[in-house]
Amino acid sequence: MEISFNNTANAFAYKSDKELKQAKFLFSTMGYPMFVPIGVRLTPLLVKGKLPFINKIIRSTIFKQFVGGESLENTHDVTTTLDKYGVQVILDYGVEGKEGEENFEKATQIFIDVVNYAATQKNIPFISIKVTGLARFGLLQKLNEAPRLRSGIHDHETEMNEWERVKDRLYRICEVASQKNVGVLIDAEESWIQDPVDRLAMELMQVFNKQKAVIYNTIQLYRHDRLDFFKLSHRIANEQGFILGMKLVRGAYMEKERARAAQHGYPSPIQPNKESSDRDFNAAVTFAIDNINSIAVIVASHNEESNLLATQLMEQKNISHNHPHVHFSQLYGMSDNITFNLAKEGFSVSKYLPFGPIKDVIPYLMRRAQENSSISGQTSRELSLIKKELHRRKH
């Protein structure tokens, strides 16, 4: 197998010259030190729709680059284009941080609609869910801090009822997903609300993952305790007779996690350095592929070395490129050099594709901008590949 993540002809075959030049302009702009701080300050105004001209600029630049559209139907064009190149899609209804039972019920119905839509499209094997879209943040925090009772909380009857409603929402979504053969990826959250999410994910797997992997939890390996948690989850899955579904990511809340730990005076859950995160991520990839029959893994990474490691381990163990228990994924709008070159070699790979009204997905877009500027060399790597391809097309 000859796989190269430097092959820009494969990486950008789906983009026209004009689209590549637009991407080049965007990543050049994101490289400016002031871009993210200014963007974060403007976000509240954008959400309230106070700056219509900025809204228009965002729609034609950063929104177009990283988001599939404002509605489920709008994602169709992107999905169809990706399908031509053997790239699948993970659909993500990108609304975050809305509170209130009415909003949670509305989000539940949208997730069910997304599952039903995914079932009609041959290249959408998964949808992604954030539990904070279905549950009150304060409830999750209280559950996280409660003693590890099976019930999850002390004796607050109203909160017990509220938690039962959250579980019911997840069960309703997963029931439809299981019937329709669509996988459900449960996103990771901040460490101080993660515990109830983990327990609920395991409970759902115990019900729905008996025959095949339908439900996947997510571990952020920039946390120093997650590799052990992965191994513990696997032991429990084996004891209880279900397939463990796990999406591996490095993580998305590092600055926030460190700041909160310092403020509250507890040890930071974050790895001491990038090398430790990389080591644990690669160890998790190896552990998953070593246990391919009982673990279904999604290698959700923009790190070329980690993706390469997974492909090499599969080659060594003679695991087929499209084995149902190994899937690769990158965010839409980033790391096309990884996604499209994996697809070219016949690996199961997808783009994580958010959609939703522009004002609702702005928090997601700001995280992408922050991520690109904080990951060492991410923006410059994207830019250099785009420039390389534009140069190749000229000559």
What is the pLDDT, as a whole number, of residue 58?
Answer: 81
Give the total number of structural domains in the chain: 1
Is the pLDDT at 97 greater than 70, yes or no?
no
* DSSP string for residues in 108-161: HHHHHHHHHHHHHSTT--EEEE-GGGTS-HHHHHHHHHS---TTSSSS-HHHHH
Between 110 and 44, residue with greater pLDDT:
110
What is the pLDDT, as a whole number, of residue 308?
Answer: 97
pLDDT tens digits for range 266-295: 999 999 999 999 999 999 999 999 999 999
Q: Is residue 69 part of a domain?
A: yes
Instruction: Give the C-alpha separation, 151 to 284, whole Å.
Output: 30
Beta-carbon contacts of 231 under 8 Å, excluding residues fewer than 6 positions away, are 287
Between 298 and 251, residue with greater pLDDT:
298
Query: Cβ distance 21 to 27 under 8 Å?
Result: no
What is the pLDDT, as a whole number, of residue 372?
Answer: 59
Angle at Cα 297 formed by Cα 119 and Cα 108, nearest 5°?
Answer: 40
What is the pLDDT, as a whole number, of residue 223?
Answer: 97
Instruction: Give the C-alpha separation, 350 to 391, whole Å.
Output: 27
Q: What is the DSSP letter of 181?
A: T
Is the pLDDT at 107 greater than 70, yes or no?
yes
Query: Cβ distance 164 to 154 under 8 Å?
Result: no
Q: Is residue 163 part of a domain?
A: no
What is the pLDDT, as a whole number, of residue 154?
Answer: 53
* Residue in 128, 269, 135 with CA at minimum distance from that of residue 191: 269
Span of 14-23, 43-52, 328-337, 383-392 with lowest mean pLDDT = 43-52
Is the pLDDT at 263 greater than 80, yes or no?
yes
Q: What is the mean pLDDT of the chain?
A: 91
Between 340 and 365, residue with greater pLDDT:
340
Span of 21-30, 104-113, 144-153, 228-237 with lowest mean pLDDT = 144-153
Percent of the chain with pLDDT over 90: 75
Q: How many residues does the chain have?
A: 395
Q: Residue holding tokens 């190994």? A: 326
pLDDT tens digits for range 344-372: 999 999 999 999 988 788 777 777 666 65
Over residues 313-322, mean pLDDT: 97
Q: Is residue 272 part of a domain?
A: no
Q: Is residue 10 part of a domain?
A: yes
Query: Cβ distance 71 to 117 under 8 Å?
Result: no
Side chain identity, residue 294: S
Q: Is residue 50 part of a domain?
A: yes
Query: Cβ distance 12 to 391 under 8 Å?
Result: no
* Residue in 324, 336, 314 with CA at minimum distance from that of residue 383: 336
Between 96 and 208, residue with greater pLDDT:
208
What is the pLDDT, as a whole number, of residue 363?
Answer: 76
Span of 67-81, 83-97, 301-315 with lowest mean pLDDT = 83-97
For residue 78, count other CB atoms closer than 10 A to its CB. 18
Distances (CA, A) of 47 to 132, 169, 302: 19, 27, 29
Between 292 and 251, residue with greater pLDDT:
292
Residue 89 forms beta bridges with which residues?
351
Is the pLDDT at 102 greater than 90, yes or no?
yes
pLDDT tens digits for range 116-155: 999 999 999 999 999 999 999 999 998 998 765 544 555 5
Q: What is residue 304's three-state secondary structure?
A: helix
Q: Is residue 117 part of a domain?
A: no
What is the pLDDT, as a whole number, of residue 376?
Answer: 52
Q: Is residue 58 part of a domain?
A: yes
User: Which residue range forms the structural domain that includes residue 342?
Assistant: 1-92+330-395
pLDDT tens digits for range 19-62: 999 999 988 888 777 777 777 777 667 667 667 777 788 888 88
Query: Cβ distance 182 to 208 under 8 Å?
Result: no
Question: Whole-model pTM?
Answer: 0.94
Report the sign of the C-alpha dihedral through residues 301, 305, 307, 313, in that order.
Answer: negative
Is the pLDDT at 1 greater than 90, yes or no?
no
Helix axis angle, 191-208 to 137-145, nearest 10°: 90
Q: Is residue 172 part of a domain?
A: no
Query: Cβ distance 229 to 194 under 8 Å?
Result: no
